[in-house]
Amino acid sequence: MERLQKFLSECGVASRRKSEELIVSGKVKVNGEVVKTLGVKVSDSDVVSVNGEMISKSLKEYYLLYKPREVISSVKDEKGRTTVVDLINTETRIYPVGRLDYDTTGVILLTNDGELSNLLTHPNNNITKEYIAKVKGFFKKDDATLLSRGILLNGKKTKPALFKLKKYDKKSDFSYVKVVISEGRNHQVKDMFSFLGYDVLKLKREKYAFLDLSGLKSGEYRKLSLKEVKQLYSLK
């Protein structure tokens, strides 16, 4: 037996807090009866529905994909572009954990485990993401310091991060910069560079928490091990 809000979040309906709101607002039924109180417990044999749609726990699947360029980080695309889900061979309804831009490559996780997905994308949990960015021009030390300390982006200061020049190619005038951030705002890395006038030509996510791309080529994926899943759960 487990609390109804925990059950809903494990089924991927919403975060635990949002699930509580769904319950209180009368959207959730257990065995055909509306349940509006938060203390109720359910087991796997109870029939639970949200807005009239039956939900259930299916077996959890976890994948790490090396996302290529020109693949969209969503389940479906109205323009018919290839999605990250298209690249994984499964019948299960999985979805990406967070997003990478269409032209960004690298590590992306996919799962049908709503609870883990909520945990990893929750801003308070500070999951680190490591990128390598190819930017036009020489990336100055002072700019690295500014971006690492935090800048005002869309009215909100970015959390402390790491921006570090790895290599400057004088001939082509490109810098390669290592970036480690613990937030996941939309286009955050590109927007931070752009704040100081740098153009990001390529962006690759090399690490998501402790998970990297070793053993994978672009477009390839692997399942996470049970140990890795447990380790991800312990990050909160």
Q: Which stretch binds ligand URA (CB under 6 A): 28-36, 43-51, 98-106, 224-232?
A: 98-106
Cα 142 from Cα 168, distance rounded (Å): 15
Q: Which stretch binds ligand URA (CB under 6 A): 45-53, 168-176, 188-196, 226-234?
A: 188-196
Confirm if 55 and 62 have CB atoms less than 8 A apart: no
The verdict on 188 binding ligand URA (CB under 6 A) reads yes
Q: b/e for 83-101, b at 16 or more Cβ within 10 A?
A: bbbebbeeeeebbbbbbbb
Which residue, among 108, 111, 112, 90, has the nearest Cα to 100 in the 3D structure? Answer: 108
The verdict on 158 binding ligand URA (CB under 6 A) reads no
Nearer to ligand URA, 17 or 166 (CB): 166
The verdict on 77 binding ligand URA (CB under 6 A) reads no
103 flagged as catalytic: no
CB of 95 to ligand URA, least distance (A): 16
The verdict on 101 binding ligand URA (CB under 6 A) reads yes
Q: Which stretch binds ligand URA (CB under 6 A): 7-15, 86-94, 164-172, 182-190?
A: 182-190
Name every residue whose Cβ is closer than 8 Å to that of residue 95 and which is 6 or more positions away in sequence. Answer: 12, 74, 75, 85, 110, 111, 112, 117
Burial of residue 211, with CB atoms counted within 10 A of its CB: 0-12 exposed, 13-18 middle, 19 or more buried: middle
The verdict on 206 binding ligand URA (CB under 6 A) reads no
Cα 165 from Cα 111, distance rounded (Å): 34
Nearer to ligand URA, 57 or 202 (CB): 202
Name the catalytic one among 46, 77, 101, 103: 101
Cα 18 from Cα 24, distance rounded (Å): 10
Q: Which stretch binds ligand URA (CB under 6 A): 75-83, 164-172, 183-191, 210-218?
A: 183-191
Name every residue whose Cβ is closer than 8 Å to that of residue 158 and which is 6 or more positions away in sequence. Answer: 147, 150, 151, 181, 183, 185, 188, 192
CB of 68 to ligand URA, least distance (A): 13
The verdict on 65 binding ligand URA (CB under 6 A) reads no
The verdict on 209 binding ligand URA (CB under 6 A) reads no
Q: Which residues are catalytic?
A: 101
Contact residues for ligand URA (CB under 6 A)? 100-101, 104, 187-190, 203
